[in-house]
Amino acid sequence: MSKRPNFLVIVADDLGFSDLGAFGGEIETPHLDALARRGLRFTDFHTAPACSPTRAMLLTGTDHHIAGLGTLDEVASRSQRGQPGYEGYLNERVVTVTELLRDSGYRTFMSGKWHLGMTLETAPHTRGFERSFALLPGAANHYASSPKAGTGFRRQDTLYTDDDRFVGLPDDFYTTDGFTEKLIDYLDERPKDGAPFFAYLAFSAPHWPLQAPDELIAKYRGRYDDGPDVLRERRLKGLIELGLCTPDVVPHPVSARSKEWAEMNAEERAVSARTMEVYAAMVDRIDWNIGRLIDHLEASGDLDDTVILFLSDNGAEGALIEAVPVFGPMLMQFIAEHYDNRLDNIGRPNSYVWYGPRWAQAATAPSRLYKTHTAEGGIRVVAFLTGRGFARQGQISTEFATAMDVTPTLLELAGVVHPGRTWRGRVVEPVRGRSLVPYLRGEAEVVHTDDVATGWELFGRCAIRRGDWKALLLPPPDGPGRWQLYDLSKDPGETDDLAEAEPERLASLIEDWNAYVEETGVLIVEVAT
């Protein structure tokens, strides 16, 4: 690239690893597939186990326990709340990639889900975004016309911000369309001064509640009538055929406390299949909007100079939401009183559903479990990067990378040096991620060398990885409540626990874990989800 590149970072919310066609799925995603195949597809890209922690890592290059989102603020315990790293918003210990890029002359725009602060004082415009249209919380109805707008858990007029003020929504608003349109508006309105841009498009789809246009839901009618186990087999076959997973891979068995497909009656199956149809329609709509955005960049002459990164913020969402203590009976009662979840109405603005752990594990296979878990199904995500001039375009990468690598990568491409320990007179934390640039250019064969360990923690679920070896601690009922050990190079499904066979290796990884806790300030509190 002859000039500093533009950046377009697109984050999907709870998208499964194999949902896209270019990653083995059956959902129609031609625009994303074209970008993915043209770029570098990652098979070992990792995030945090849930949304706001990942977004903190993405925008700061450091661990979320340092950046202020040590846990989901919605479920922070009394012992965590207010402690360093658990402020519930991006704290002053970190500087964002947007603050640094804006200082260096970039135009910075955001449209979509923020989830990094619920007040105007912690909204995107305070963290380096020149223009921003943001959904502040972690979830909301996708339609403005949803029932009882202004009632429920939060006031409707405190959900969305336009720069430094709260705003309402137009009656025809649908999140995926609205977020994309706003970002296109920002790109159109920017000064024609030749300055590069950083654009952050953060969808809130396909996060629950599952809601989509009727005509798109109809497009997928009947496609999932065989149930999640059959879909899981098809997705695995698709991954193998595309070279995204080895033919001899051993997938982790499905783990769920909900009914198996064979145990459901006809009505239960119909409802379950319909939720997956709506989910597919939401992913389809993301793709359609990406097509609109790419066409706009091409028409404006910006596409060739734009580095595009696409990823999900965590693994597919499989939690039975009624089990989450913070929502629990309050949510279930509210849904029963204000929504219509009859079969023919599922997916419309006045319905409120999710698809559950079995459909989620069809999308995370061969990995273990799903979102909120530090098993691979919760933290290994779909991701690809495309940009003119990179040596590895059109390839598939098996190299380990993380969301923390994004900030140092963008800074290096922009020619911006991270300030290290101080910025604008305050102490800040340096990045923990590694720049992907040497790897993208073919100058290095790995991103992370084996002398550095990477840790994860959420809700008392823990993991530490060095090279291909990973130690995992999952409390019951999803794990045995002790450290397990896996060689991910041979066992990506985490099916063969080598803790007894390799005690010295496990002990070394536990030492790495203790160092990670000390460095990042992890405060462990188990949360049942």
Report whether 386 contacts 38 (CB < 8 A). Answer: yes
| Residue 73: per-residue pLDDT | 86
User: In what side-by-side order are the strands of the sheet with 469-473?
Assistant: 453-458, 461-466, 469-473, 483-487
341: Cβ contacts below 8 Å, ≥ 6 apart = 335, 351, 352, 353
> Quick check: helix, strand or coil at residue 182?
helix
Model confidence, pTM: 0.96
Residue 461 has φ and ψ, to the nearest 5°, of -95, 125
In 104-159, which residue ranges form alpha helices assigned H by DSSP? none
Q: In Å, how far are 171, 290, 398 from 177, measured between CA atoms?
A: 13, 10, 33
> What is the 8-class DSSP label of residue 133?
E
Residue 7 has φ and ψ, to the nearest 5°, of -130, 135
- Work out whether the CA dihedral 400, 234, 395, 98 comes out positive or negative: negative
Residue 323 to residue 329: CA distance in whole angstroms: 9
Q: If we measure between CA atoms, which residue out of 311, 349, 293 comes closest to residue 177?
A: 293
Q: What stretches of 225-332 adopt beta strand conformation (E)?
A: 306-312
Q: In Å, how far are 60, 187, 338 from 476, measured between CA atoms?
A: 32, 48, 34
Query: In 10 A of CB 291, how many CB atoms?
Result: 17
350: Cβ contacts below 8 Å, ≥ 6 apart = 146, 147, 338, 339, 340
75: Cβ contacts below 8 Å, ≥ 6 apart = 324, 325, 326, 459, 527
- Among 31, 46, 115, 207, the one annotated catalytic: 115
299-329 b/e (C-beta count within 10 Å ≥ 16 → b): eeebbebbbbbbbbbbbbbbbebeebeebee
First CA to last CA across the chain, in angstroms? 46
Residue 306 to residue 4: CA distance in whole angstroms: 9
Mark residue 307 as left, alpha or beta (left: phi above 0; alpha: psi -120 to 50; beta: remaining).
beta
Q: Is 51 a catalytic residue?
A: yes
Q: What stretches of 92-175 adopt beta strand conformation (E)?
A: 107-113, 131-135, 160-162, 165-167
pLDDT string in tens for the chain (529-residue length): 458 999 999 999 999 999 999 999 999 999 999 999 999 999 999 999 999 999 999 999 999 999 999 998 888 888 898 899 999 999 999 999 999 999 999 999 999 999 999 999 999 999 999 999 999 999 999 999 766 544 444 446 689 999 999 999 999 999 999 999 999 999 999 998 999 999 999 999 999 999 999 999 999 999 999 999 999 999 999 999 999 999 999 999 999 989 999 999 999 999 999 999 999 999 999 999 999 999 999 999 999 999 999 999 999 999 866 445 556 667 778 888 889 999 999 999 999 999 999 999 999 999 999 999 999 999 999 999 999 889 999 999 999 999 999 999 999 999 999 999 999 999 999 999 999 999 999 999 999 999 899 999 999 999 999 999 999 999 999 999 999 999 999 999 999 999 999 999 999 999 999 999 999 999 987 655 5
Q: If we measure between CA atoms, which residue out of 445, 387, 384, 438 comes closest to residue 409?
A: 438
What are the tens digits of pLDDT across the range 154-181? 446 689 999 999 999 999 999 999 999 9
- The continuous run of DSSP H or E covering 486 comes out as strand 483-487
What are the tens digits of pLDDT across the range 483-510? 999 999 999 999 999 999 999 999 999 9
Report whether 187 contacts 155 (CB < 8 A). Answer: no
Q: Is 462 a catalytic residue?
A: no
Q: In Å, how far are 219, 309, 407 from 12, measured between CA atoms?
A: 21, 11, 18
Our CA dihedral for 227, 279, 57, 402, rounded to 10 degrees, sits at: 50
380-417 b/e (C-beta count within 10 Å ≥ 16 → b): bbbbbbbbeebebeeeebebbbbbbbbbbbbbbbbebe
Q: Can you give the length of the chain in residues?
A: 529
Burial class (CB in 10 A: 0-12, 13-18, 19+), 262: exposed
Residue 143 has φ and ψ, to the nearest 5°, of -110, 140
> Quick check: helix, strand or coil at residue 260?
coil
Beta strands 197-202; 401-402: pairing state: unpaired
- Among 31, 46, 51, 448, the one annotated catalytic: 51
> Quick check: helix, strand or coil at residue 442?
coil
What domains can be seen in the chain, in order of their start residue?
A: 6-520 (3.40.720.10)
- How much is the CA Rg of the chain, to the nearest whole Å? 22
Residue 223 to residue 216: CA distance in whole angstroms: 12
**Helix, strand, coil % over all residues of the chain, rounded to 5:** 35, 15, 50
